[in-house]
A and B are shown apart, each in its own frame.
Chain A
Amino acid sequence: MPTMKVESIKKNILNKIGQPSSDLVAREVHTKEKYMEILYINTISDESIIHDKLLTPFFEIEDQQDFLTFLQSHPKILPFKDEQKAIEDLLKGVVIIFYQNFIFTFDSKANLAKVTSGTVVETTVQGPQSGFTESLHTNVGLVRERYPVPELTIESLSIGSISKTDVMLLYDSRFADPDTVKKMIDFLKTVHIQMFQSGEQLLDSITKHNRSFFPTMLVTERPDRSAVNLSTGKLIILVNGSPFAVIAPSVMKDFMSSMEDIYQTYWVGRFLQLLRFVGFNISVVLPGMYVALTAYNPEVFRVQLALSIAGSRTAVPYPAFVEVLLMLFMMELLTEASIRLPKAIGPTATTVGGLILGQAATEAGLVSNIMVIIVSFVAITNFVVPINTFSFTIRVLKYLIWALGTIFGLVGVVLGFLMINAYMVKLDSFGVPYLTLLQSKPKN
């Protein structure tokens, strides 16, 4: 029987890890002669190693003393040093073995890098390049690997009346707001979806609650983004079978930040962020502004500019607002098409559409030169936004401003822009105001 000391160490370790973490495995193994307890986290430990290197010998070596010798002599098994070290090791994929009066640690780290794939959607120039995989198990492991703290809490749920998909909710119990966690769990429990396949569906079902224009949850494929967000008190939802994690509460600032901001020097990062905010505003406002300015208030331009716009529009047979709509529509089709096409053909479609069609349309007098510039500008600025779900929102919003600009002129554009702002002010994501500009800091 283990002594009191060992027993108390075991209790302490369990207490420290004590959060309801569904991937923590504490198991007792018996044979007739021997008794052993092992403790590990199955998402970051390789269970086949444990089986081959630990359990098989355990059952094959009958004698108690012999097994102890085996443990002591095994190169990957080290004797216990202290509790703190044991917990750190545990969080890195080490098995803690309680055998008789001895405690050992057994290195069984899973090599997760082998199974991950590169990022596809949120690519960065620098920094980690690996993305989530389709296995929930591995994904939790990936987060664990980057966020090895005992306070990381993992709750397991299942969503979907038919699919019964496993879902895991991860958060750091030190930083996450308990109210938010409660709200999130309640929300997840009330979601009614038959077939739950991917985290993006949650986005949709939360939008149906609020009819919100803006996503209030962030979908990411990057484990590093998830880990960083955990440290700011956010919740991560991982869904089995989907290589995307959902981060909530997410506010505008999160949608506008790329992981690269952290990997760049301070001023470069700031500059890039400013660039994105400017791009966002231009993308939303520009089409409507063009209509309002050319059709209602050409006096805003300098005379030289007004004349060249008027010149380029002379051959165009329909009003400016139709022209804008036509070109925007064409651009949307192009964007849509190039997403759907296989990667090999994608660039061709863009070239054909963008260059040749634009050029031809201008020559034929269907649209003005300046319009082509504006539409390409809108398209480019749209994709400056790093998170896709958010840039889709912009794609829709610009039509609202376009409509207001067409009907009300300059007043419509300015007030429309302000209304979008007011709407964002009104919105919140699980209790966090949407326009919180400061990065939420870990709360103490």
Chain B
Amino acid sequence: MIFSRKRHWFILILSASLILNGCGYKDIDKRFFVLAIGIDPAKHSTKRYLVSLKMAITRASREKPTDTIIVSAEADSMGEAVRTIKTKVERELDFSHAKVIILVDKVAKSGGNSGIIYWFTRRRDIQEVAWVAIGKPSAVRILHIMPKSERLPTNSLLLALGEDGSETPYIIPVYLFELKKRLIERGLDPLLPIIEVEGKNLFQINSAGVGNKSKIKLILSQEETKMVNYMLNMESKSAQWVERGKVKYIIDTQKVKTDYKIITPKGKKPYILMKVSLKGRLEETSRRITNGELSKYEETAEKQLSNEMKAVLIKLQKANLDPLGFGLRYRARHLNKDDWEKWKKIYPTLDFKVKAKVQISDTGLIE
């Protein structure tokens, strides 16, 4: 119809929109893509934050196609900072590719930073699948890291945090939407990976911070991070150190699975039964171990694994933090309206029982 009899309609529409046009069209080369956002506490003024944006500069040259520029501004809020930074650059800021958000631990530890997180989720152009992490010693330092291996700015961070790059149990990547969920969900507390500067131009991610609804309260060590990772069922490829008397050996894990139940027997102390199963093969030992002896070593590994795990659980419980979502599980299994209030009373008194099952299939290619 529009093409045939009523062609003038089509022309009318086109001309009308041409007159109204001019909004929204912005060429890709007129934009600065913000790739990472860093938030530090302000140093030189009374403002609260120092916001730094890492932006990609694109060039036509083939040898060095992209470079980066880091622009910072001090402000009391994100919105203010971004407006200030806009006055410092010549192109339009485009946040649609901001894939990494780095908070420094001081900011994360000082309460009330959730307002900033809300700024990110409220804006339509920031991806929900951006990664959030804590930077040490400062967010700007992390932004300045440019490992030699990366061709595109921040690509190494993206690969480390994403599933497509390195696979290690020491990184617990957290998406922005996930953090926001953890900030508000009753019974599930925030958890953030910590990126540290290592040497001159490298970073290291091997710990995690756990917080309550307003600030980070506990920093987990490397091994504790791994335990949390096991319990979140996130990454199976890892290595487990075990010590049996004088013998030290490492299990290269192929599959780690955990499952837990909250058991509230009547009249008795409620407890959490955590079941872990770990499958793997020996990778390195300090003494020769034959395939026949493996069951002994499995036992030791089981004991050690359950002790380590229990220690982490108790540590979290002492701090009254719940990044694993026990509270949410409790709420999900109870029909009462006041289940959350009940849980708040139960959690500090809870016992943990860890049942570990380790299977070592063989000792690798050589016995």
| Contact of B29 (CB < 8 Å), options: A313, A409, A423 | A313
**Of B4, B24, B58, the contact of A296 (CB 8 Å cutoff):** B24
Q: Does A48 contact B (CB under 8 A)?
A: no
A321: shortest Cβ distance to chain B, in Å? 8
Tell me the chain B residues, 137-173 only, with Cβ under 8 Å from chain A: 152, 155, 158
Q: Are B97 and A303 in contact (CB under 8 A)?
A: yes
Q: B23 to chain A: closest CB distance in Å?
A: 10
Q: Do B31 and A310 have beta carbons less than 8 Å apart?
A: yes
B97 — nearest CB in chain A belongs to which residue? A303
Chain B nearest CB from A86 CB (Å) reads: 52
Q: How far does the Cβ of B229 sit from chain A's closest Cβ, in whole Å?
A: 26
With both beta carbons as reference points, the residue of chain A lying nearest to B28 in the complex is identified as A294
* B25 contacts across to A, CB distance below 8 A: 295-296, 319, 406, 409
B28, A409: Cβ atoms closer than 8 Å: no
Indicate the member of B2, B18, B58 with the most A CB atoms within 10 Å. Answer: B58
A388 to B69, CA, bound (A): 51
- Give the complex CA separation of A212 and B17 in angstroms: 24
**In the bound complex, do residue A307 and residue B3 qualify as a contact, i.e. CB atoms below 8 Å apart?**
no
Beyond A296-B25, A313-B27, 14 additional pairs, beta carbon < 8 A = A294-B27, A296-B24, A296-B26, A297-B96, A298-B31, A299-B97, A299-B125, A306-B97, A307-B56, A308-B65, A309-B28, A311-B58, A365-B60, A426-B1
Q: Is B181 an interface residue (CB 8 A)?
A: no
Q: Is A158 an interface residue (CB 8 A)?
A: no
Q: Does B131 contact A (CB under 8 A)?
A: no
Return chain A residues, CB-CB under 8 Å to B56.
307, 310
Contacts of B14 in A (CB 8 A): 403, 407
Q: Verify A303–B29 contact, CB threshold 8 A.
A: no
A320 at interface, CB cutoff 8 A: yes
Please tell me if the beta carbons of B96 and A295 are within 8 angstroms of each other in the complex.
no
Which A385-444 residues have C-beta < 8 A from chain B?
403, 406-409, 419, 423, 426
B29 and A304 within 8 A (CB) = no
Task: Say yes or no for A340: interface residue by CB 8 A criterion.
Answer: no
Cβ distance A307 to chain B, nearest Cβ, rounded Å: 5
Q: Contacts A303-B99, A407-B21, A408-B17 hold; do A313 and B158 have CB atoms under 8 A apart?
A: no
How far apart are the CA atoms of A165 and B35 in the complex, in Å?
Answer: 70
Contact call A310/B28, Cβ cutoff below 8 A: yes
CA A144 – CA B27 in complex, angstroms?
60
| A178 to B94 CA separation, bound complex (whole angstroms) | 63
Residue of B nearest to A315 (CB): B60
| A34 CB → nearest B CB, Å | 65
For the complex, what is the distance from the CA of A213 to the CA of B2, rounded to whole Å?
12
Verify B27–A320 contact, CB threshold 8 A: yes
The residues in B between 74 and 116 inclusive whose CB is less than 8 angstroms from any CB of A are 94, 96-97, 99
Q: CB of B361 within 8 A of chain A?
A: no
Beyond A303-B152, A309-B28, A407-B21, whether A314 also contacts B60 by CB under 8 A is yes
Q: Is the CB of A298 within 8 A of B96?
A: yes
Q: Does A210 contact B (CB under 8 A)?
A: yes
- Residue interface bits B191-222, CB-to-A below 8 A is 1, else 0: 00000000000000000000000000000000
Give the size of the chain B interface in residues (CB under 8 angstroms).
33
Report Cα–Cα, A315/B65, bound state, in Å: 12
- Give A311 to B61 CA distance when docked, in angstroms: 8
B33 within 8 A of A: yes
Q: Is A180 an interface residue (CB 8 A)?
A: no
7 A-B pairs with least C-beta separation:
A299-B96, A311-B58, A294-B28, A310-B58, A313-B29, A315-B60, A303-B97
Is A124 an interface position by the 8 A CB rule?
no
Q: Which chain B residues lie closer than 8 Å to A368 at the CB level?
A: 60
What is the chain A residue whose CB lies nearest that of B18? A407
Given A296-B25, A298-B28, A316-B29, A307 and B66 contact (CB-CB distance below 8 Å): yes
A335 contacts partner chain B, Cβ-Cβ < 8 Å:
no
15 A–B contacts, CB within 8 A, in A order: A211-B3, A295-B26, A295-B28, A298-B31, A299-B96, A303-B35, A303-B99, A304-B152, A307-B152, A310-B58, A311-B65, A313-B28, A315-B60, A319-B27, A407-B17
B237 at the interface (CB under 8 A from A): no
Query: Is B58 in contact with A314, judged by CB distance below 8 angstroms?
Result: yes
Among A304, A311, A423, the residue within 8 A (CB) of B3 is A423
Residue from B7, B27, B31, B35 having most chain A Cβ neighbours under 10 A: B27
- CB of B59 within 8 A of chain A? yes
Give CA–CA (A311, B68) in the complex, Å: 13
Identity of the chain B residue whose Cβ is nearest the Cβ of A406 in the assembled complex: B25
Complex CA gap A307/B3 in Å reads 39
Q: Looking at A295, A299, A309, A310, which has the most chain B CB atoms within 10 Å of its CB?
A: A310
Interface check A338, CB cutoff 8 A? no
A312 interface residue, CB < 8 Å from B?
Answer: yes
Contacting residues, chain B, for A320 (C-beta < 8 A): 27-28
Q: Which residue of B lies closest to A313 (CB)?
A: B29
Per the bound structure, the CA–CA distance linking A156 and B290 in Å amounts to 95
Q: How far is the CB of A412 from chain B (nearest CB, A)?
A: 9
Interface residues of B in 1-58 (CB under 8 A from A): 1-4, 7, 14, 17-18, 21, 24-29, 31, 33, 35, 56, 58
Looking at B18, B24, B99, B127, the one whose CB has the most chain A CB atoms below 10 A away is B24
B33 touches A310 (CB 8 A): yes
Q: How far is the CB of A152 from chain B (nearest CB, A)?
A: 36
B4 contacts A314, C-beta separation under 8 Å: no
Q: Which of A210, A212, A303, A368 has the most CB of B within 10 A?
A: A303
Chain B, Cβ-Cβ closest to A297: B96
Look across to chain B and name the residue whose beta carbon is closest to the beta carbon of A409.
B24
Residues on A with C-beta less than 8 A from B31 are 298, 310
- In the docked arrangement, what's the CA distance between A311 and B152, Å? 11
CA distance A313 to B27 in the complex (A): 9
Chain A residues lying within 8 Å of B24, measured Cβ to Cβ, are 296, 409
Provide the residues of chain A in CB contact with B3, threshold 8 Å. 211-213, 423
Nearest-Cβ distance from residue B64 to partner chain A, whole angstroms = 10
Residue interface mask A269-297, B partner, CB < 8 A = 1: 00000000000000000000000001111
Nearest residue in B to A320 (C-beta to C-beta)?
B27
